[in-house]
Structure 1
């Protein structure tokens, strides 16, 4: 019989290789891990997550992300399910198998043209925006941007003005009087009882420009934290003393999340409607605005219905503050 070449073969001649012996098809079913321990992420460092157990907050467990989670982001403040060794002993490692739904998210981008969102902290109830009245002077543009991020992310903002022994808070109080914004005024030589009360029993994040005294506040609130206190440089810009977000337990309950000092706060992820939604009366009025309205009024948005809302009895002062935040979101009037 003559030997056939490959041109003479048809599909019936093709040998089908059998599958691997004892192999099973991969299932899409995953274990439910119903017995997983609930915990909160308190620190992140190079692919390892430090978690505080709900049942024993004083026990810190180091964990890795389970393979089935893929690249699911896990950040400080996340509620997670842990399996494996949750003893917290040195050289032990648990696995994060579940990430709970987030109730709030503080996001920022590197700048207003950066599409990549960075989650700073999850599930914080309040965002305490720390600003100094002097040395360095207050930056209302940065404060406004933090306010925008808080409103858009579902956090209740609180403004904390430090170093009132060096400058009067009157101008700053006037600037934010039209907003539903609690303002705390502190000085370094007095106890911070109002701040303790504002944070107590809650998960709260502190954010602020470097050198404003944020780490000093954290050291007083949580003495054992031993957070480094930055020195303000000669040009008015402090050194970054906190390099990553970390949640610290408050003595009377609750957590304070100390975030890295920031020089800018990008808001590429926030739309005008995201911000307006935080103001109930204006949010309802904005539904009658034309498509793609930026809610700035004037020549830019001449048909903005927010002006009609104010003409019919809405607060002109609050609209002015809202539009200042909208301009800040758009990268204008930033200081």
Structure 2
């Protein structure tokens, strides 16, 4: 039996050899300079579908991305098997800097932001004029999200054969939001014209005919539609993941997103919304710190009274900011 004493050294100690390699770890990561450029078309259960040149490639996140998310619209660097053949799998090794990010939270008290779409230019807010009835507070919330993300909003009113559009259009006229009304029997040329050469994300609550409209815009890429109860909002919601679709003849991109029942704005700061009102934003210089822009000392009242902006614009801004404090159904 070996005895260990004061003259013991490491040669006297029996140690189980380590299974880990002795090669030192490095923080350096491969640059993947030969990676191909791709655009993310959809993400489903960890599988990322990318358009690489003229091929559709299935990929997964590379380990070096860590927790960085990949969303529809992302411009990415892809390596591996880029043939697009069945049962092949590439790797997304880099997500390029995003020009815009559309976010929402599940509820107003939810601190976790969900990125819906990246690199869009425009947000098409789809709402039905009837069956189901319009939800102006939902539209307001989507407008706030658009302004916060730096996207140009577009209001698309469906089912104009069931109810007139004038009243709802008048509500948003002071905001200068572009709007178009369509019915179920007419061509969608008027909508297509507003999407040309742009990446447009479509949002709307369930049952408004959003996916039906997308199918009309991109007829060769039909998505399934389902029946939704106009009163309860329950039914078969068949758009379960966002999907980017090219408009005919490469005229732009449409991103269809799942129907939502709520659009939380916990992540939005009032100051970022005001930036979308260039006629009002300079007037905030005299506001008290952390001004909500709807309080007695708000400098915007004096700014409007001096003739720098239309009072209707300030009313609209305050209505939008108020949506952050109330749920859509309030």
Deviation (angstroms), 1:71 = 1.1
Distance 2:95 2:303 in 1: 42
**Poorly superposed stretches of 4+, deviation over 6 Å:** 8-22
TM-score normalized with structure 1 length:
0.90
SS of equivalent residue, structure 1 residue 178: helix
Alignment of 1:1-335 (within 5 A): 23-53=22-52, 55-56=53-54, 59-233=55-229, 235=231, 237=233, 239=235, 240-253=237-250, 254-296=252-294, 301-313=295-307, 314-331=309-326
* Structure 2 unaligned blocks of 5 or more: none
CA contact (8 A) 1:103 1:154 kept: no
Computed over aligned residues only, the root mean square deviation of the Cα atoms, in angstroms, reads 2.4
Deviation (angstroms), 1:226 = 2.0
Distance 2:188 2:310 in 1: 33
Distance 2:61 2:228 in 1: 38
CA contact (8 A) 1:109 1:267 kept: yes
Distance 1:92 1:43 in 2: 17
* Structure 1 unaligned blocks of 5 or more: none
Distance 2:21 2:139 in 1: 62
1:231 and 1:64, CA in 2 relative to 1: closer, same or farther beyond 3 A? same
- 1:309-330 per-residue CA deviation (whole Å, 9 max, x = no partner) reads 1011121110100100000122
1:213 and 1:9, CA in 2 relative to 1: closer, same or farther beyond 3 A? farther
CA contact (8 A) 2:262 2:328 kept: no
Distance 1:118 1:101 in 2: 17
CA contact (8 A) 2:108 2:327 kept: no
- 1:6-58 per-residue CA deviation (whole Å, 9 max, x = no partner) reads xx7999999798998983211211121111111110111111100011x32xx
Deviation (angstroms), 1:4 = 6.3
Aligned length: 325
TM-score normalized with structure 2 length:
0.92
